[in-house]
Structure 1
């Protein structure tokens, strides 16, 4: 690009480069200090980073002659432009790579309407503002270009700023956050296309180059897909692709972005499409996410946001007219976005509170506006007599508007935390069309097959969207050993990180199993890894549940089956973690007892799974049945509901009939029991009407008098089902489960689950024990 040539061919390319790196270091240091202070008030990182740029720029520190002479040199602007282009290329690619494509596809219409609402009103306000500025600036030519510039300043929404803001404020995974990102991308892409029209309408040559770059984008997407497939298949015993292969992908990406920028076009759409269309499975994507995410979120974006603030010069607002102009522009930008978004949300029947937050989020600036200003040819800018004032106006509006919007959004989310935070709803009460977010946890490769089977059962059964996460839990040894190898001594493709070693060969086997499943079914499993001591492991798990807004989590039982069929205990830390997650998890919890090859496997045409849900009554059993509903429609699963009902003996009936006097406490207990019984009856009836009568599930009733008969009935199920699903407890005092086992070896499984998982029963089927989320849980029940 032209800026790169000017920078490299200058008389002294070295000193401006030192200035550029010093500026980046200063922004990082100052922004970190600001962030430590502002995060106490709930303010996100982008606000602190923009303010750091303002402090370092001509508004404060660079007002001093010596500082200004060092930071603001004529040749440093070229370096800033080059690095901005590279940074923008990388993080737009990363946003595309991390984009939730199924959500975007499902909600494209809604996001488009919301984006259109804000853009339409911004265009109307922009026309009014442009006419006023043309009169004030006495512009005589190129009205269309000036109109375009002002409209883009008002209408644009900076997706990188929004993406990072939503991530730090912990609502990126919410419906509001994902909808805002989709609407922001649509808005930004619309502004990019409009700027391309502005540039290409002057000459046919520009139009031809735009078509050429479109074809180049398509070709590079095809090349990336082919190379990614080749790299995934080339070496199967590594966690990541080699450094050389990573550099090939990065070089192709940056080169394409710089070439597009060289000819005066915007590379935002192309870079985003490179990431969006990149294959999601395999070690290539895993490597790109691993290596680019840390650098982008900890260095690239802070410096990029900081440079936005660095360009602000408050001296521009020293007189009355510029100050009024800036204030009016900011008010018009905020008002048009909020009013337009609220109108669209009213049409879509989205709540007003959510519409206000969406309006403020879509008003974030900082990506497209500076590019548009920099890409306009000199012959367009030349007739504008106050060119410097136009530049300062746009910079001032963008910076102040973004800071105000970021602060307001953070305050709204803090004030309305209950509304926008994760809503803890059990599966029993969740809406049928709502998204199901499943988190499965494994400690090693032996657990991965059955857990992928669980994900498959949900993903291929439900018509509603399912988002699956797989978390590898790794114990952090008390004595931590460091590598003695230097970086250049590591094998190609290894990572210079001690934590990357934890998990050993299990990591490779888990990755291979996930990749194979994704390639076969096209169902994406998001992988996470937690390295911590067993005493603190549950905290990380619960934090992830909150951040990912998980509906239900499946844990691994601490025992595993030996070759002789007996259950053998594993690490005691696994059991401690399960106990603590059951106590503290902000969602429903399932503990999976794996029986190996004789137990539950991934359903397929060659492996049809017979599953039974045992229903005794109570909230946990209802949650287990609600979970079973979600897999009943799987074509290769046959589900049977076994409804255990009490058949009292004659002595019990006589005793009950002879009881005439009951105190108030006993009356209340009986009343609550009767209410629970009615809820259970209605829930089972609903299941019967929906699934049994339609032939999707079977139904069996078993009448038992006491725990002994229940245990016998459970023994009769041996060898019939590959998976038994049951609630943990919460049934209160039930004669059907009294005395099922003389002692509970594993109380975290409940009375029935403990018997099913014990070696005493000698069962060959896996067991899934479900505990329903409760608003307050002081014990394990």
Structure 2
């Protein structure tokens, strides 16, 4: 048989045209509404999600159903093209989030944050699992195991979103405050634990709830972490060193992108979530001395300006807010939001109190850690892909992701105004402003320990336009 006879035919003309239109229209509207959201003092993801809501079943499908069916036909082959582009975006976005985690700061504040982390994860996790069991069956996808669904809801309730938290602290000029640093540390550890839990739940959804399968999933997670901390760390450092020494333009960008994709493929092959591999690889790339943020900025900008809005727009397309017209769904929506907010806030607040922080510091921690956003949106999309969530439950979780970041600033203003502004914090603030004047944005700290070497502290630049 000839090669030509076995070749896969190219995309049909109409399929390619619709795909290009989908990308162009969705990206244009996401960027416009994201900019409008920022002007109104909201995170950009609110507007980018709204683009999908406008073009999806909530609005366009009701106003112009024929046009909606033509532009976004509910055909697997067509929608999978758009979803594939969105998946690339989310893997890069999670990878860059990992690059900007400050491991040095975690080591400095880690001991004090342990109690806060335990409470801020365990309390919402337990409440979320309980909620997952009491939610009506209509919110659980057909064929989904009740135990896996409940555990997934628990994980969705206990995550934070370090990019959103960092953006809020920067905008409110709290990044230099001790309480701001503590919020970032707790949020960082929460993110790491969240991805570990998501990977375990994903494996359970794939292999079933069996003691052997769950143990194997936990073993895979442990192996990934051990490999990353030993061989992976050295390999990433060697690759980034070679890339930076190369005279080929853009080689550091290509090297980082390749490693993120291969790491995602590796964890996916182990029946863990691909985003977990991207996140771990991002941490390794960002923690090495050889990584220079300015050399990776073009890819960072492309991801944040193109891929991320497409992903959030795609996420909004799956939302159907018309389900809230059903009184039962509306009541359960309020219940989920209440449990999500109360569990995370109460966990962080109690953890801070038991860690001997005063009540205003505890209040600030609770408000900051309660902000979800990008991480919960990604997890909601994972739940759809795993076949755990109905459209109604997916829409509810997405509402939690959008509403919680809007709650944080007012409470933070009240709490921080009653926390003493120390001389050390004023000095740190002066350094922060100096760095900003040099176009270096101190997302995670004004000085940073390097995770690969002990050459001393250095600053790390955040992803521009952090969501």
Query: Normalising by structure 1, what TM-score?
Result: 0.48
Structure 1: distance between partners of 2:44 and 2:144: 41
Structure 2: distance between partners of 1:368 and 1:12: 30
Which blocks of at least 5 consecutive residues in structure 1 are unaligned? 1-7, 236-240, 382-389, 445-464, 470-514, 529-781
Within the candidate set 314, 334, 344, 1:337 is matched to 344
Within the candidate set 355, 358, 363, 2:365 is matched to 355
More helix per residue? 2
Structure 2: distance between partners of 1:137 and 1:290: 41
1:562-711 equivalent positions in 2, closer than 5 A? none
SS of residue in 2 equivalent to 1:361: coil
Give the C-alpha shift of residue 45 in structure 1: 1.6
* Residue pair 1:44, 1:168 contacting (<8 A) in 2 also: no
Check if 1:392 corresponds to 2:391.
yes
Check if 1:251 corresponds to 2:258.
yes
Give the C-alpha shift of residue 49 in structure 1: 1.8
Could you say if the C-alpha distance between residues 71 and 342 of structure 1 is closer, same or farther in structure 2, counting changes exceeding 3 Å?
Answer: same
* Residue pair 1:156, 1:188 contacting (<8 A) in 2 also: yes
Check if 1:118 corresponds to 2:91.
no
Structure 2: distance between partners of 1:18 and 1:181: 44
Partner of 2:407: 408
Partner of 2:51: 52
Structure 1: distance between partners of 2:347 and 2:246: 51
Check if 1:221 corresponds to 2:222.
no
Check if 1:310 corresponds to 2:309.
no
More strand per residue? 1
Within the candidate set 363, 377, 398, 1:366 is matched to 377
Structure 1: distance between partners of 2:369 and 2:337: 14
Check if 1:437 corresponds to 2:431.
yes
SS of residue in 2 equivalent to 1:242: coil
Partner of 2:146: 143
Structure 2: distance between partners of 1:187 and 1:98: 15
Check if 1:346 corresponds to 2:280.
no
SS of residue in 2 equivalent to 1:58: coil
Could you say if the C-alpha distance between residues 158 and 466 of structure 1 is closer, same or farther in structure 2, counting changes exceeding 3 Å?
Answer: closer
Give the C-alpha shift of residue 435 in structure 1: 8.7
Q: Residues 537-584 of structure 1: CA distance to partner in whole angstroms, max 9, x if unpaired? A: xxxxxxxxxxxxxxxxxxxxxxxxxxxxxxxxxxxxxxxxxxxxxxxx
1:512-531 equivalent positions in 2, closer than 5 A? 521-525=455-459
SS of residue in 1 equivalent to 2:376: coil
1:34-49 equivalent positions in 2, closer than 5 A? 34-49=33-48
Within the candidate set 442, 446, 453, 1:467 is matched to 446
Query: Normalising by structure 2, what TM-score?
Result: 0.76
Q: Residues 9-39 of structure 1: CA distance to partner in whole angstroms, max 9, x if unpaired? A: 7984665555455444334433443345444
Give the C-alpha shift of residue 366 in structure 1: 1.2
1:234-249 equivalent positions in 2, closer than 5 A? 242-244=249-251, 246-249=253-256
SS of residue in 2 equivalent to 1:157: coil
RMSD (CA atoms): 4.2
Could you say if the C-alpha distance between residues 26 and 145 of structure 1 is closer, same or farther in structure 2, counting changes exceeding 3 Å?
Answer: same
Give the C-alpha shift of residue 394 in structure 1: 2.5
Give the C-alpha shift of residue 148 in structure 1: 0.9
Give the C-alpha shift of residue 186 in structure 1: 2.5
Could you say if the C-alpha distance between residues 118 and 394 of structure 1 is closer, same or farther in structure 2, counting changes exceeding 3 Å?
Answer: farther
* Residue pair 1:122, 1:155 contacting (<8 A) in 2 also: yes
1:285-324 equivalent positions in 2, closer than 5 A? 285-324=292-331
Which blocks of at least 5 consecutive residues in structure 2 are unaligned? 1-6, 439-443, 463-467
Give the C-alpha shift of residue 314 in structure 1: 1.7
Structure 1: distance between partners of 2:155 and 2:123: 12
* Residue pair 1:91, 1:160 contacting (<8 A) in 2 also: no
Give the C-alpha shift of residue 60 in structure 1: 0.9
Q: Residues 444-482 of structure 1: CA distance to partner in whole angstroms, max 9, x if unpaired? A: 9xxxxxxxxxxxxxxxxxxxx99359xxxxxxxxxxxxx
* Residue pair 2:116, 2:352 contacting (<8 A) in 1 also: yes
Structure 2: distance between partners of 1:301 and 1:344: 33
Q: Which has the higher contact order (CA 8 A, sep 6+)?
A: 2
Q: Residues 404-463 of structure 1: CA distance to partner in whole angstroms, max 9, x if unpaired? A: 2222234555x659839996x7xxx4479979837778x99xxxxxxxxxxxxxxxxxxx
Give the C-alpha shift of residue 187 in structure 1: 2.5
Structure 2: distance between partners of 1:439 and 1:359: 25
SS of residue in 1 equivalent to 2:431: strand
